[in-house]
Structure 1
Amino acid sequence: MSVKMISLGVLGLVAVAAAGWLGWLYSLPPAPPAMAASAVPPEETQAMLAALKPPKRERPVIAIIGINDATETTDYLMPYGILRRADIADVLLVATQEGPVSLYPALTVEPDTTIAAFDAQYPEGADYVIVPAMSRDDDPAALDWIRGQSSKGAIVVGVCVGAKVVGAAGLLDGRQATTHWYYLTELLKRSPTIEHVANRRFVVDGNVATTTGITASMPMMLTLIEAIAGRDKAVEVARGLGVDTWDARHASGAFRFNRSFARTVIGNSATFWTREQLAIALEEGMDEVSLALVADAWSRTYRSKALTFAEGPITSKNGARIVPDRSGSWRGDERIADFADAKPAQVLDATLQAIEQRYGRRTTDVVAMELEYPR
């Protein structure tokens, strides 16, 4: 068989595969139109606030649990930053093991404590346990600890795909819940007794709460602050974040797997050799919520990766210890603006605008979909 015939055969297989991909791509629905979310009835909001009242202490203890090898960036840092600035609880970043927590898709953090040290310090358990998305939802140490904290009376909050972890711990069976739009089918397949509640950015059922995608931890944490310390405190914190409203309204139909999303992800992924490394300078006292949103968003374009640099670990505005990816100065590609003078909600909008200017509208739409951010 000649080389020419082999080449033509390979090209034929490529053509068939491409046709298959195109057929699959165009079988997907188009991007949904803009949708308005309906208001949440006041009685529903009040019921959620009542369910989230501190179960044990006047000043609650809140543990944000992560596994060391990969925990979602914003899921881990945004609840911490929001709750710490409220100063209405003792808030701790907890890890399953000693050592730093590598966050996905960007940043590395030194946790405050481990699950073993936390148990020794608080044998009666936390008041609240916040569960971010993790690289796997079957980590035995994490699942055992979450179950144990629930059995001690903690209110468990699964943020984004952290709902899968909470579900794997058996805490969502027979309950109402939600999660990130992309993983909803997987969650319901694994835990078929869950009743999914559509058009809610977060759902509270008894002593378990769950949220939709990544950015939903902001309204969820503000609601938690309101339940602990009242409306005035929540308003104060919301203003500092640049947020006007934070109820549970959500247009679930605006977030679904569609043709534009798939085509953009495939196209951007295919140019992996041109992927950029974009730098963020870590500075003492910087806002960890803004940092998480900037690093997370830029690392979800499928065209760039956010990396940090500093002489050594820095302490953020509210006490998180951030470890740089590189020590010293940066000699790589372009730096990312961190919008240090803006409020976190404004920072996210400005970052999405910067991504659109660099990579176009479709890539920005993909990032917003991944963050499940209603724009």
Structure 2
Amino acid sequence: MSRLLAILLALFTASPALARPLVVILADARGTETTDLVAPYAVLAESGTVEVKIIAPTLAPVRLMPGKAWVRPQATFAQLTREPDVVVIPFMMPAYDPVRDAWLRERAKRGARIVAICAGAETLARGGLLNGREATTHWFELKRLAKAYPNVRWRRDRRWIVDGPITTTAGVTASIPASLALLRDLAGEEVMRATAARLGVPLPVQAHDGAAFRVGTDAAMTGLSGWANAWRGEKVAVRITDGFDDLAFATALDAWSRTNRSEAFPSQGAVSRHRLAVIAPEKLPRAGRMVEPRNGDPTTALNDIAAAYGKATARYVALTLEHPYWLEVTRAPPRTPPRSWP
């Protein structure tokens, strides 16, 4: 018997797939925020140390928002063959779904770690999973959620907050450093650093000045001006081919879709290097601009937008993404530049 146990143990340790943590990312066909969904998938898949799947109640294509694109879920709830170690909840529309919420509560009861990205925190708050805990969310939603859920200790000074088995993040682009921090917990510092380097993104920095994100006169005017001219907005194609970089595509699609001056979509349907299937519009618009997603750092897309439409528009996009680019261009530059922007 001892020899049989030794053989079984050897087989188990020789198969990394058996030992890898399972992380599932929820999605809803009716609408799921682009970076909220793709960033955790891309970061964890790139590491090679985590099994990660995008799951939904059905295999219907998931509409990415903003942007004009869809992705295919990789499994349904019913198709999962084992309990996930981590469940990630991006911002989805509608915010409430009884089947999805019941499934999530059951995973929490069974001990899964829960990670809510951006306004996905509302799903947890509504289900009572944040009661008595510290949490954060997108800056624009904080006041409303603080009023609706007073039993939660809402904070503005962190890009992500871990309170026991629950993690919440600030807005949209906080999904990238928070996913790297999760990867560090699951696979270690060395794996996290190597993954960040390959993706071309800074190492995670948790400190955050969320109170500095607010709609001032300049941002309001930029946004209104964009909306007023949306009817003549530029058609922007994000170039992808099979094997494309998931994270670079997502940050480009998301950022160019928020300018109020352009409509962004993938140049064609393709499958990423991590087997994420992206579906383009059935009838592709005629592109006035083709953009190349070069790396996953949102600063790259924001700089490209500044070059195309001016710094005011890039600042407005950074505000909606809750990205530190907003702080960098709003304030006087520090005497010593920071080592990295999250």
TM-score normalised over the length of structure 2: 0.86
Match of 2:126 among 136, 149, 168: 168
Task: Count matched residues.
Answer: 307
- Kept in 1, the 8 Å contact 2:119–2:138? The answer is yes
CA drift of 1:282 comes to: 2.8
Give me the whole-angstrom Cα distance separating, in 1, the residues matched to 2:206 and 2:102. 30
- The question of whether the paired residues in 2 share the 8 Å contact of 1:188 and 1:194 is answered with yes
- Whether 1:267 and 2:217 are equivalent positions in the alignment is no
| Equivalence for 2:14 | none
Q: 1:208 to 1:331 in 2, by over 3 A?
A: closer
Does structure 2 conserve the Cα–Cα contact (< 8 Å) formed by 1:137 and 1:168?
no
Distance of aligned partners of 1:308 and 1:242 in 2 relative to their CA distance in 1, 3 Å threshold: closer
1:104 aligns with 2:56: no
1:81 aligned onto 2:31:
no
Aligned-partner SS, 1:344: coil
Instruction: Report deviation, 1:197.
Output: 2.2
Deviation >4 Å, runs of 4+:
none
Matches within 5 A, 1:1-375: 58-106=19-67, 107-118=69-80, 121-122=81-82, 125-310=83-268, 313-326=269-282, 332-339=286-293, 342-345=294-297, 348-375=298-325
**Paired residues of 1:223 and 1:247 also in contact (CA < 8 A):** no
1:306 and 1:359 map into 2 onto residues whose CA distance is 14
CA distance in 2, matches of 1:273, 1:104: 19
Tell me, yes or no, if the aligned pair for 1:146 and 1:169 is still in contact at 8 Å.
no
Quickly say closer, same or farther: Cα 1:221–1:331, change in 2 above 3 A: closer
Q: Is the 8 A contact 2:242 2:273 kept in 1?
A: yes
SS class of match (1:204) = strand
For residues 285 and 72 of structure 2, the distance between their equivalents in structure 1, rounded to whole angstroms, comes to: 25
Give the root-mean-square deviation of aligned CA atoms.
1.6
Partner deviation per Cα, 1:311-351 (whole Å, 9 max, x = no partner) = xx421011101111146xx6613233224xx3321xx3232
Residue 42 of structure 1: aligned partner: none
Rounded Cα–Cα distance in structure 1 between residues aligned with 2:244 and 2:203: 25
Q: CA deviation at 1:304?
A: 0.9
> What is the letter of the counterpart of residue 134 of structure 2?
Q
Question: Which stretch has the larger CA shift, 196-205 or 283-292?
Answer: 196-205
Query: 1:135-191, CA deviations, whole angstroms, 9 ceiling, x for partnerless residues?
Result: 221111221111111111101000011111221222111110000000111221221
Instruction: Show CA shifts across 1:55-76 (max 9, x none).
Output: xx94211000011110000111
Distance 2:202 2:218 in 1: 31
Q: Which amino acid aligns with 1:251?
A: D
Q: Please, what TM-score do these two structures have when normalized by structure 1?
A: 0.78
TM-superposed CA distance for 1:225, in Å, is 1.1
Please give the per-residue CA displacement for 1:14-60, whole angstroms capped at 9, x wherever unaligned: xxxxxxxxxxxxxxxxxxxxxxxxxxxxxxxxxxxxxxxxxxx9421
Deviation at 1:134, TM superposition (A): 1.0
* Aligned counterpart, 1:37: none
> Cα offset for 1:264?
1.4
Deviations 1:261-305 (A, max 9, x none): 222111211112212221223300000100000000000011111
What one-letter code is carried by the residue in structure 2 that aligns with 1:322? Answer: V
How far residue 257 of structure 1 moved from its aligned partner, in angstroms, is 2.4
The one-letter code of the counterpart of 1:100 is P
User: Quick one: which amino acid aligns to residue 264 of structure 2?
Assistant: A
Aligned residue in 1 for 2:15: none
The answer to whether the 8 Å contact 2:247/2:295 transfers is: no
Identity of aligned residues (%): 34
Instruction: Give deviations 1:74-132, integer Å, cap 9, x for gaps.
Output: 111111011001111110001122311111012210010112222xx22xx21100000
Amino acid at match of 2:295: K
Structure 2 residues without counterparts, runs of 5 or longer: 1-17, 326-342
